[in-house]
Amino acid sequence: MTMKKETRSPEKSERAMIEGIIEGSPDAVGVAVIRLDCGCRKMAAVDKEGEPASKVIMYRDMAESICEQCKKDNGDFRRVTEQFISWVGPEPAAPVKEMITGKVLGTREPYTN
Ligand SMILES: [Zn+2]
C-alpha cells in the first residue's frame, strides 16, 4: 500500500465500472463506490432522489469473482474502508448531493453520539 492523500475519486478500474453502470442507468446522477477491506468493490447507481438506479454490483479487480468473505457476508458494511459517490456531470446542487449522500451512505455513521 502506498501512501496517498485522500482524494475520494475513483481509481482507473473503478472509472471503467462506473461508466458501464451509468450507461445502463439513464436515471443515475451518480454511482456509489464502496471499497471493502478485502479489495472488493460494491457499486450502485443512484438517482436524484437518492434511490437505487441500478442493482448493486460487486466485483474484484483482476479476478473472476468476488472473494470468499464477500460471498459469505455480501460485503458487510463493517468491512467498508471507504465510500463515496462519484457524480455524473452535470452534478446536482450541493444540498441535493448532501441529501443523496446521507441517504445512500449515511447508515454507516449514525447521528447519535
Ligand atoms: Zn471481498
Gap between the Cα atoms of 36 and 94, Å rounded: 26
- Cα-to-centroid distance, 64 and ligand 1 (Å): 12
- Cα-to-centroid distance, 91 and ligand 1 (Å): 30
- Cα-to-centroid distance, 104 and ligand 1 (Å): 20
Gap between the Cα atoms of 86 and 83, Å rounded: 10
Residue 32 CB coordination number (10 Å): 23
More confident residue, 85 or 110: 85
Percent of the chain with pLDDT over 70: 88
Single out the residue of 101, 82, 83 nearest to residue 92, CA to CA. Answer: 101
Q: What residue ranges do the domains of the chain occupy?
A: 12-105
The neighbourhood of ligand 1, an ion, using CB within 5 A, equals 38, 40, 67, 70
DSSP per-residue letters across 18-81: HHHHHHT-TT-SEEEEEEETTSEEEEEEE-TTS-BSS--EEEETTSSS--HHHHHHSS-GGGEE
- Cα-to-centroid distance, 113 and ligand 1 (Å): 30
Q: Which residues of 50-70 are buried (b: 16+ CB within 10 A; e: fewer)?
A: bebbbeeebbeeeeeebeebb
- pTM, two decimals, is 0.83
- Cα-to-centroid distance, 67 and ligand 1 (Å): 4
Residue-wise pLDDT tens digits, 8-65? 788 888 999 999 999 999 999 999 999 999 999 999 999 999 999 999 999 998 899 9
- Cα-to-centroid distance, 77 and ligand 1 (Å): 12
Does pLDDT of 93 surpass 90? Answer: yes
- Cα-to-centroid distance, 54 and ligand 1 (Å): 20
